[in-house]
A and B are shown apart, each in its own frame.
Chain A
């Protein structure tokens, strides 16, 4: 399988556009060189993510293969207006590892379900509020204190217990709990701001 050289990989700031281009090439042309570049970018991250969440090495490698095969098959349904490529691949990896490591199915709404309340059912006032509320949350996420964001990351993304976070970051348990409470409070206030 062809592999791109490291020189093909542009700087971090162009990553998002570069990744979108690669997914587009896979979707349109079944481009294996583009797929190899996506693999080299994401496979180590998927591996790392699964190992952190308790998979052994061989299960983690199976998950890498499974997630990347899904990327190959579903590239055509990737929508850059909805999410970045990194977020899209994260959601695939998240769903696969819940299925594989927890033996659970992740419940999700079905966008085709006629019983789902579409956004168009919102009144104009409600729609304006939706946009504003979403912006407030983006601001709140962006303005989280670094140590609060780190506790959120460890707690929700790496699924560490409060005790594990305290030990890993060499911070007292009470401080971990306080930072988590402050972080969630900060995010929740963005909801109140819309009123």
Chain B
């Protein structure tokens, strides 16, 4: 297995570690973390940095806190100790994230948000074709102002020219795609800042399916470059 090569910018990792990043982009970052041990370590380093900042906060404000400690007495008695955390079981190779149909399961936390399978037939009504071989999912969510859906590209199919007034983020969940900056496979993240030109196209035998995040409005352009 190869690990992801394209990671979210550090501003997203430190924002995720500190809690400053909002839910929409945190969903993409957290799902990338499930694919990427390297970024898990980076986030742990940033959490340690925040832990240091937390430890530096003043500890001189005791007004009312002693009373709060006394009030907790009953809570502690009432609260039952949880069962010992089970040590994590090594996952058997034959069930390591393979779904019954033989595809690779999308990891949590994204899996809990998605419809059951992501590679459903493109003509079953759950996909909207925006140009030949390129679809957007009918499944769509808005989280903390970020629009989230799936983008699907058939092999060699280019995503039509489009304009976005805010940042766009892609996370590969199946297959691979490429653009003028590189090629992106499972777990890779592509980031496009507002008003940049980029030309993604499917680059794997199977359809490439990505988690697609957009902060602002997405406007597809016609051949003359006008909003379609």
Contact = CB atoms under 8 A, between A and B. Distances in A.
Determine if chain A interacts with chain B.
yes
Interface of A: 1, 3, 15, 30, 32, 35-36, 39-41, 43-45, 47-49, 61, 64-65, 68-69, 72-74, 76-77, 82-84, 86-91, 93-95, 97-98, 102, 104-119, 121-122, 126, 129-130, 133-134, 137-138, 141, 152-153, 155-157, 159, 184, 187-188, 191
A175 B61 CA distance: 33
Q: Secondary structure of the B side of the interface? A: helix
A140 B206 CA distance: 40
Nearest to B144: A104
A77 B68 contact: no
A106 B26 contact: yes
Contacts of A15: 55
A70 to B, nearest CB: 10
B218 interface: no
A45 B59 contact: yes
25 contacts: A3-B66, A15-B55, A43-B69, A44-B62, A65-B75, A68-B72, A83-B47, A86-B55, A90-B51, A91-B51, A97-B19, A98-B19, A102-B23, A104-B22, A105-B23, A107-B26, A107-B110, A109-B30, A110-B107, A115-B111, A130-B38, A130-B41, A152-B14, A156-B15, A184-B11
Contact of B36 (A45, A84, A117): A117
Given A87-B48, A156-B14, 6 more contacts: A65-B68, A69-B72, A104-B22, A107-B109, A113-B108, A116-B35
Nearest to A94: B19
A188 B45 CA distance: 13
Nearest to B17: A156
A105 B24 CA distance: 10
Given A83-B47, A113-B108, A65 B84 contact: no
A90 B9 contact: no
Given A65-B68, A157-B50, A134 B41 contact: yes
A30 B76 CA distance: 9
B61 A156 contact: no
A106 B31 CA distance: 12
Count chain A CB atoms within 10 A of each CB in B19, B27, B88 and give the residue with the most: B19
Interface of B: 1, 3, 7, 9-11, 14-15, 17-20, 22-23, 26-27, 29-31, 33-38, 40-42, 44-45, 47-55, 57-62, 64-66, 68-73, 75-76, 79, 81-82, 84-85, 88, 91, 95-97, 104-111, 144, 187
Contacts, number: 215
Count chain B CB atoms within 10 A of each CB in A15, A43, A48, A115 and give the residue with the most: A115
Contacts of B11: 184
Given A48-B57, A122-B37, A32 B76 contact: yes
B62 to A, nearest CB: 7
A61 B68 contact: yes
Contacts of B60: 44
B44 A83 contact: yes
Count chain B CB atoms within 10 A of each CB in A36, A41, A107 and give the residue with the most: A107
B107 A118 contact: no
Contacts of B19: 94-95, 97-98, 106
A80 B76 CA distance: 23
Given A64-B65, A113-B108, A152-B14, A134 B47 contact: no
Nearest to A105: B23
Contact of B59 (A44, A116, A118): A44
A82 B43 CA distance: 12
B14 A121 contact: no
B30 A108 contact: yes
